[in-house]
Amino acid sequence: MGNIKDLSFPSLSTHIDELMRISKEELLSLCSDPEAWRVSQYYSIFVENNPDLILKHKEFLAQRPMHWSLLIKLLKEKGIDNSFLNIPTDITRLVDKPCIFVIPHFGLHMLVPLILAHFIESGSHIVASGMEDGMEVANSVNEIFPDIQIHFNKIPDIWILRKLYRAYNKGNYPVIYPELTASDDKSLFQIELLGEKLGVPRGVENLSRLCKSNVIPVAMTYDKKKYELHLGPMLSYSEEGSILTPLFVWIEKLIEQHPDQWFGWQMFDEMMNQKAVEYA
C-alpha cells in the first residue's frame, strides 16, 4: 500500500503523488468495517428498521474516507468534470456576487468549500468556519490544491462573527455551518424538524442580517456512480426566522431524500433525549 496507512486529510496531503496512483479498491481496504458502526436510534425509527437502509447508513459512515480521497483524486486529475460530479448549471450566476453559503452536514460536506472555490472569482478566497478538525481539513486541502486557498476560522471564537463580517466586506466569501452560534444572548430559535420542535443557533441568520447578504444552502451527496452538489433556495433576511425556517424546511427535504447521508442523526438523538429529560 506504500506510505498511505490511513485516509486522514493530513496523510493524503503528505502523500499526494501516491494518492494519484492508488486504486479505489485500495482506498476501500483502508476503511473500517461498516458493521462496527452504531446507528442512531432515530435513524432506525425513521427508516422503520429496514435492514438494507440501516446497512446503507453504516456503509456511508465507514466508507466516507474512501469517497473523500477519491473525490480529491478526481478533482486533482480532471478539475470540475460532469463525468463524476453533478453541479447545478446556475451555480456560476449565483456566485457572481459575494454571498453566504450555508453547508449542512450531508455526504462530503467538508469538501464543499473546495468545489465552490472553482467557481469563485480569482483573487477571492473562501472563509470557512467550524471545529478544530475542520481546520485540519482546510489546511490539507490548501496543500493539495495550492491555487485554492480556504481561510479557516476555528470556533468557538468570540470574534468569529466579526471575522466573517470583515471578510465579506472585503469581497471574499464566507462559508458558515448552520450550527454556528453567533447570537449575542446565545438564545436559540425554535424550528420544526422531522415533526419535532427543536432549538437551533441563530448564527447564519445573524450574519445575513449584518451583511445584508443572501444565503444559499448547499450540500453534497453521492451514490455509487456520481457525487452531486445540491443548491437550495436563495434566502434573504427580512425578519426573525426568515433564513432559519426555510433553511430547515430544505434540510428536511434533503433528509427525506438521503436519510443515510445526514450526519445530524446522532445530534438529533441527543436533542430528543435532552427534551425527554426536561419534560420528565
Domains of the chain with bracketed CATH: 1-78 (no CATH), 81-263 (3.40.50)
How far apart (Å, rounded) are the C-alpha atoms in residues 216 and 94?
8
Alpha helices for 97-176 (secondary structure H): 112-117, 132-144, 160-169
Cβ-Cβ contacts under 8 Å for 71 (sequence gap 6 or more): 84, 85, 108, 111, 227
Count the neighbouring beta carbons within 10 Å of the beta carbon of residue 269: 14
CB 237 within 8 A of CB 243: yes
Count the neighbouring beta carbons within 10 Å of the beta carbon of residue 209: 16
CA 68, 71, 76, 80 torsion-angle sign: negative
Strand partners, 152: 128
Rounded alpha-carbon distances, angstroms, from residue 141 to 65, 150, 222, 228: 14, 8, 20, 19
Tens of pLDDT, residue by residue, the chain (280 residues) = 578 999 999 999 999 999 999 999 999 999 999 999 999 999 999 999 999 999 999 999 999 999 999 999 999 999 999 999 999 988 888 887 778 899 998 999 989 999 988 888 777 777 777 777 778 888 899 999 998 878 877 665 556 677 777 777 888 877 766 555 455 556 788 999 999 888 888 888 888 888 888 999 999 999 878 999 999 999 999 999 999 999 999 999 999 999 999 988 988 888 877 665 454 4
Instruction: Please provide the distance, in angstroms rounded to a whole number, between the alpha carbons at the two ends of the chain.
Output: 53
Contacts 24+ apart (CB under 8 A), 83-88: 84/226, 84/227, 85/115, 85/226, 85/227, 85/228, 85/229, 86/226, 86/227, 86/228, 86/229, 87/115, 87/228, 87/229, 88/229, 88/230, 88/231
CB 259 within 8 A of CB 53: yes
